[in-house]
Amino acid sequence: MNPPPVSSSARRRKEPAPCAECGSTSRVARGLCLNCLLNEGLGGDTCNPETLEDMLGKIDVRDADWRLGNYQILEEIGRGGMGVIYRARQRHSRRIVALKRILSYHADSQETLVRFRREAEAAARLDHPNILPIYEVGDNDDGLPSFSMKFAAGGSLHEAAPALHREPRRIVALMAKVARAVQYAHARGILHRDLKPANILLDGRGEPLVSDFGLAKWLDATSELTQTLAIFGTPGYIALEQASGSAGKITPAADVYSLGAILFYLFTGRPPFLGEHALAVIQQAAEKPAPKLRSLAPTLDRDLETICAKCLEREPTARYRSAGDLAEDLERWLAGHSIIARPVSAPVRALRWSRRNPAFAGMTALLLVMGAAVGVMIWKGEMATPPVSSGIAVLPFESLSPDNENAFFAEGVYEGVSTKLAKLSDLKVISHNSVARYRGAHNTQEIGRALNVAYVLEGSVRRNAGRIFLNVQLVDTRTGTHVWTESYDRNSNDVFAMQTEVAQKVADRLGAETSSTEKAAIQEPPTADLVA
C-alpha cells in the first residue's frame, strides 16, 4: 500500500511542544497537556508520571479523515485478539470494503504476524461465492500488515441467530451453502479450524460468507503454530481431537463437527456444550455425548436431529465423511427427500458407552449374564408364553359390485392404502403376499395369531355414478374390538386423497411417528391418471 501524504497539521501533531509544567508531549484539543489533566484528575500523589507517560504513549488518537494507504477509514466494526476491522472506502474506486489491520501491540510477535498473513493467503487462494473474498494485501506506512476484503453488510450469523431461530428451512438453506464452501476449501487443501457463528458473515442479500481463516491449516503441511492454546479454536464449536492439541490428527471431520455445532446453535440458541470457562466446556465434550437436538427444540423434525447428531459424533470416523456429504443431506431435507444419515443404533451406542466405562460395563455384563441364567431356569420350569403381537395386516378390500371393473378398482384402493402405510418406518406392515390368502376371511383374531400382528385393517369398496363408497375398520386382533371405523362417500377423482387420509388416520390411531419426509411420501399420489 502507498503511504498517505503527511499534512502540515499531521506534522504539528507528531512534534508538539513540550508542556511547561511536566515536559510531556501528549496533547489533546487545543494543546492542553493530557498528562497534567489526568494527573490532576487522579490526584498528584497517586499517579506515577513515568507510568502515566508510558500509558499515554500507547494512545493512538485519529482524526476524522484518517487514512491507511489507499483507504479512508470510516469506522471500527470489529476487534479480535489479533486484529481490528474497519469499514473503509477505497480512495479511487470509492468502493466500501472491510479493512483488517493487525493490532499494534502484536507487531513484535512473529507468531501473530504469521497467523495474520496466513489468513490473507488462505482466503486469497479460495474463489467461491460463499467465501469472503480478499481484494488487496499489503503493509501500511507504519509497517503493520493489513488486507481489504468484501464488506458484509448483513452482519454475522451470531447476530442474525435470534431472527433465524424459528425459520428452520432458512437455517438449513444457509448452512447447506456454508458446507459447500467449506468442502470447496477442503478440496483445495485448506482446513478452517475456527468455524463458528461469528465467522459466518451475511452480505446485503443475506447470502452466507465464510470468513476468518486465521487458524487455517494446509492439509499437505505441518505447522508449529498449532501447538499453542491461543489458536486451538473456539470452545463449544471445536471437535474433541482439535481441543486436545494434536495437530497431526486433525482432518476435515473437525470442520464437519464445527458445522454441526453451528447448526445446533442456530436451532436452539446455544452451542452443544456449555461451561463457566473453556476447560469446563472441553471437559463436558470429552465426557458426555452431545445433547439431542429435540431435547431443546422438540418441534423440530427428527431428520434434523439425526443430521446434527451425525456431525457431533465424538469419533471423527462416525461423522459425515465430508462437508459435501453434510451439504447433500441438508439439501435432501429441503427437497423433502429421505436423508442419508441414520440414527445410531442401540447396540452401537452401548458399545461406545462400554468403551468409555469399562469397569461399569463389565459389572453390567455380569449382571446381564446372571439375569439370563435365571430367566432360562424360569423358562424351563414354566410353559413359555407366546410373543406379544405387533404390527398391522391390511386385508384386501372387498368389492361390493358384481362387475370385474369395480373389483379391479377395489384392489387398487387397497394397494394404495397398504403401500402408503408401508412407507412409515415406525410401523410394521405385513406384505401383500402374506395377507392375500385371507381375502374374504372375517375371523380377525385367528388372522392376528397366524400373522403375529396386533391389528387388522379391513374394508369394502363400491363405485357408482362417479362416486366412491368406502367402509374401513381397524380391529384389535387380541380382543376383536373395533379401534376405528369410518365411512367415505367421495367423488371418484378424490380417490388418492382418500387413500392418504385413511393411511394417516390409521397411523395416528396406532401412535406411529411420522417425519416430514414420510408425510410427504404418504401425500404424494402414485399417478396423475385416474384411469391408470
Q: Any idea which residues carry the catalytic annotation?
A: 194
Nearest to 528 by CA among 488, 476, 493, 484: 493
Close Cβ partners of 458 (under 8 Å, ≥ 6 residues apart): 395, 397, 398, 442, 444, 472, 473, 475
The amino acid at residue 30 is: R
Say if residue 382 is exposed, middle or buried (CB neighbours under 10 Å; 0-12, 13-18, 19+). Answer: exposed
The DSSP annotation for 210-222 comes to E---TT-EETT--
Nearest to 137 by CA among 127, 147, 145: 147
Q: Are the C-beta atoms of 461 and 488 separated by less than 8 Å? A: no
φ and ψ at 32, to 5 degrees? -65, 145
Instruction: Kindly state the DSSP code that residue 382 receives in the 8-state scheme.
Output: S
88 DSSP β-pair partners: 73, 97
Q: Which long-range contacts (CB under 8 A, 24 or more apart) does 130-135 make?
A: 130/177, 130/178, 130/180, 130/181, 130/207, 130/208, 130/209, 130/210, 131/181, 131/184, 131/185, 131/209, 131/210, 131/211, 132/201, 132/209, 132/210, 132/211, 135/97
C-alpha cell at 10: 499531521
SS (H, E, C) 421-484: HHCCCCCCECCHHHHHHHCCCCCHHHHHHHHCCCEEEEEEEEEECCEEEEEEEEEECCCCEEEE
φ and ψ at 204, to 5 degrees? -65, -20
C-alpha cell at 120: 490473507
Close Cβ partners of 347 (under 8 Å, ≥ 6 residues apart): none
180 DSSP β-pair partners: none
Helix, strand, coil distribution of the chain in percent, nearest 5? 45, 15, 40
